[in-house]
Amino acid sequence: MNQYAFNPEFFSAGLVFARPEIFLSLAACAILMLDLVLADAQRRWTGTLAVIALGITAVLVAVQPISMKIVALGGLFELDRMAQVLKVVTLLTIKASELAASVDRKAQTASTSTRFGSSSSS
């Protein structure tokens, strides 16, 4: 038998190592679908859900037990300690930037409403 032949059992056994990426993909799809059906006034929750999903994904990556380099999904997925550290740093950086943007949007909204409120009373 050819050693390079496709083996479904070997291929799908690596899915457990891609669990954080699969979760993030499904969460992104769910958040996009939710954003599609929400009214404009309720869309502020999609950003909050995105930050929560990034946090959960960072935790899932951080708790993966990795003792050596793992090659899974037929060589398409490689995982080692450095990849794990870089994933956590990337996810937390994106989460922090989204939180900063959210705070900035709230400050701009508050200053805009104060400005318009004070100009109408003059």
Q: Dihedral (C-alpha) 97, 102, 108, 113: value to the nearest 10 degrees?
A: 180
Distance CA 110, CA 106 (A): 6
The tens digit of pLDDT for each residue in 1-48 reads 556 566 677 677 778 888 899 999 999 999 999 999 988 878 778 888
Dihedral of CA atoms 77, 83, 88, 93 in degrees, nearest 10, equals: -100
- Local structure of residue 78 (DSSP, 8 states): E
Q: What is the pLDDT of residues 68-117, one digit of tens each?
A: 887 777 777 788 888 888 888 988 898 888 888 877 777 777 777 666 65
Residues 6+ apart with CB under 8 A from 74: 6, 10, 11, 14
Nearest CA to 84 among 65, 104, 110? 65
